[in-house]
C-alpha cells in the first residue's frame, strides 16, 4: 500500500492471488483506508467483513473514503 486510494470490495471480485488468501480466512469483503499525517503516509486501517460484505454506499464507508485534507 502507501497510495492514496481506498481499497474496498467483495473478495469474489479480487484477483485470484489475493482472493485465495482472503477467502481462506473467511473474509467476504474488505475495506482498507490509508492514514496520512502532516509528514505523509503513515499506514492504513483495514476492515474485514466475514458475514455479509462491505456496502460501498453505506454512510460510514463513504465517510472513510473522504480524501485527506
Question: Model confidence at 15, in pLDDT bands (50, 70, 90)?
Answer: very high
Of 68, 3, 69, give the one whose Cα is nearest residue 32: 3
Asked whether 27 and 50 are in contact (CB, 8 A), the reply is yes
Cell of 23: 477467502
- pTM value is 0.68
Residue range 19-33, pLDDT digits in tens: 899 989 999 998 888
Q: DSSP code of 66? A: P
Cell of 34: 490509508
Question: Model confidence at 57, in pLDDT bands (50, 70, 90)?
Answer: low
Amino acid at each position: 500500500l502507501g497510495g492514496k486510494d481506498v481499497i474496498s470490495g467483495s473478495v469474489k471480485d479480487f484477483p485470484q492471488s489475493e482472493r485465495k488468501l482472503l477467502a481462506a480466512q473467511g473474509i467476504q469483503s474488505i475495506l482498507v483506508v490509508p492514514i496520512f499525517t502532516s509528514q505523509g503516509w503513515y499506514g492504513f486501517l483495514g476492515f474485514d467483513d466475514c458475514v455479509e460484505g462491505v456496502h460501498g454506499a453505506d454512510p460510514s464507508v463513504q465517510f472513510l473514503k473522504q480524501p485527506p485534507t
